Amino acid sequence: MRKVKVAMIQMQCSPVQSENLEKAESLIREAAGRGANIILLPELFDRWYFCQERRYEYYQYAMSVDEHPSVLMGKKLAKELGVVLPISFYEKDGNVLYNSIACIDADGSLLGVYRKTHIPDDHYYQEKFYFTPGNTGFRTFDTAYGVIGIGICWDQWFPETARALALNGAEMILFPTAIGSEPILQVDSMEHWRRVMQGHAAANLVPVCAANRIGLEEVYPCKENSFQSSSLDFYGSSFMSDETGEIVESAPRDKETVLIHEYDLDQLMKDRIAWGLFRDRREEMYGIISGTK
């Protein structure tokens, strides 16, 4: 049996990059010390969620995969600890900027980069100002501990993301996330956020795990942001599901947490085959999804 321990890190982020990297390293070491083989941090964990406001100087946060401090930290720790680290970072590729994941294998090597496909544009989640929609397609990575599929935050709301990753061979699906209060809608989206991903797990018979940040992040008026005043309260609630969508590990809304769960990948494969969901798919009938029918 191929058994793998997966960890979700839930953390509060500081405006200071170096503080976040130091905290992330400490939490990664904690997870590895508890036996985790694959460890996921939240989306854009190295800073406050800068997409809450539009400021041109924040474009300077983007760096190439070869030089970004978060990726360099991930390579070092993955090699030292023998763990797989999908690292969220603000990527600069020539003249284009992306919201990306660098998937680092347990020997510290870079397996590749996934670029966020679905880019939101809502009050205080103003990502279209910073990111170009990804051009990598939905990627899976064959790591030392199994094949993982990765989407980024808003990707998690689309069933096509999870299905494409499952069809590409994902044995588990991971979502680094930055989500919290909905100041205009005035709803608590947490349960809805969880349920949509639980449905992805059940529909594909693949475990789904999400790592979110916590804490209140506030924007104060200044000339550079056209005197915007706002705040987002990130609601944590990171979780890990089994292949039926049942939540097997759950974090609170307001506490830094390291979740760990063990999965038997061989048993999960047997279950997927036994259910026949992929056997009985009718691709020729799904043209409406891709706009070809």
CA-CA distances (angstroms) from residue 215 to 9, 10, 212? Answer: 14, 11, 10
Residue tagged active-site, from 5, 75, 92, 116: 116
Determine what percent of the chain falls in helix, strand and coil, rounding each to the nearest 5. 30, 30, 35
Neighbours of 60 (CB within 10 A): 10
Q: How far is residue 6's CA from residue 211's CA, in Å, rounded to a whole number?
A: 11
Q: Is 209 a catalytic residue?
A: no
Establish whether 75 is a catalytic residue.
no
Q: Which residues contact 239 (CB under 8 A, 6 or more apart)?
A: 8, 194, 209, 210, 247, 249, 250, 251, 259
Pick the catalytic residue from 75, 153, 171, 249. Answer: 153
Cα dihedral 153, 147, 255, 180, rounded to 10, equals 10
Burial class (CB in 10 A: 0-12, 13-18, 19+), 240: buried
Q: How wide is the angle at C-alpha 43 spanned by C-alphas 153 and 241, nearest 5°?
A: 60
111, 104 Cβ separation under 8 angstroms: yes
CB atoms within 10 A of CB 96: 12
Active site residue 43: yes
Q: Which of 13, 23, 43, 91 is catalytic?
A: 43
Which active-site residues does the annotation give? 43, 116, 153
